[in-house]
Amino acid sequence: MPDLSPAEAAKDAAARAAIALVQDGMRLGLGTGSTAVFMVHRLAERVRAEGLRLRCAATSRATCDLAESLGLRIEELDEIGWLDLTIDGADEIDPDLNLIKGGGGAHLREKITAAASDRMVVVADPTKVVEQLGAFHLPVEVIPFGMQTTRTHIQRLLDSLELSRRPMLLRQRDGQLFRTDEGNVILDLSLEAIPECEALAAGLSAIPGVVEHGLFLGMCDLALIGSPDGRVIEMTAAQVAE
């Protein structure tokens, strides 16, 4: 790899540690985002060097394109059926390994993929580790049809849970309405803190028009937190061990 900034070196360290978990014959889910980019590069390196036989599914078009450009063969998740391991990034990680994901708008496919995996491993730099989820905006993917009424339902839910009244933002990218790989749009919720993640997750999931939210509760088995100096801390639920 070319010279890496400290932040990139931390992501790469986490990525290398995660790819060390990959074994010949595995069925893998490949996550999305800037940390996942390092993971895909490191995976491709190992496949080239060791001739690993893997079956890989991607969680986004971007990851699929990158992986294929590096010589990895990507299959549809349904062609593979079930995965041994999914490696993905996260926007926030709490001490119980609950996550906020979807900063890149890929959380729907990421959640489907993680849910179809025996194991989900998150790769991240130390800025992602938090005591409580919610400082990062919570992405909610919604169907464009009836979006304003869906938004009203979400606001009522936030009010009932006494969560922030700061306006939710319809995600834009490069001055255009952001569309997910599924053609939906994203509302980003500014909550500051989410004391009751389960209640919010359940409430959001019950709203017609909400396709998926970025709370990943109880899905992550291990988080690998890289440091710029190459060290990696392993986080398992409610316990941190170096």
Q: Which stretch binds ligand R5P (CB under 6 A): 41-49, 97-105, 181-189, 223-231?
A: 97-105
Angle at 83 between CA 140 and CA 105, to 5 degrees: 20
In the range 101-120, which residues lie near ligand R5P by CB under 6 A? 101-107, 110
Smaller CB separation from ligand R5P, 117 or 153: 117
Smaller CB separation from ligand R5P, 12 or 91: 91
Q: Which stretch binds ligand R5P (CB under 6 A): 25-33, 74-82, 161-169, 225-233?
A: 25-33
Cβ(77)–Cβ(57) below 8 Å: yes
Cβ(131)–Cβ(197) below 8 Å: no
Q: How many angstroms separate the CA atoms of 60 and 75, rounded? A: 12
Tokens (6 digits) for 56: 């890989």
Q: Strand, coil or helix: what is 148?
A: helix
Q: How many angstroms separate the CA atoms of 206 and 134, rounded? A: 20
Residue 49: CB minimum distance to ligand R5P, A = 24
Binder among 17, 27, 31, 209 for ligand R5P (CB under 6 A): 31
Number of residues this chain uses to bind ligand R5P (CB under 6 A): 18
Count of other CB atoms within 10 angstroms of residue 52: 15
Q: Which stretch binds ligand R5P (CB under 6 A): 74-82, 89-97, 182-190, 202-210?
A: 89-97
* Catalytic position from the list 92, 110, 141, 212: 110
Q: Which residues pair with 240 in a beta bridge?
A: 235
Q: Is 110 known to be catalytic? A: yes
Residues that bind ligand R5P (CB under 6 A): 31-36, 88-91, 101-107, 110
Residues tagged active-site = 110
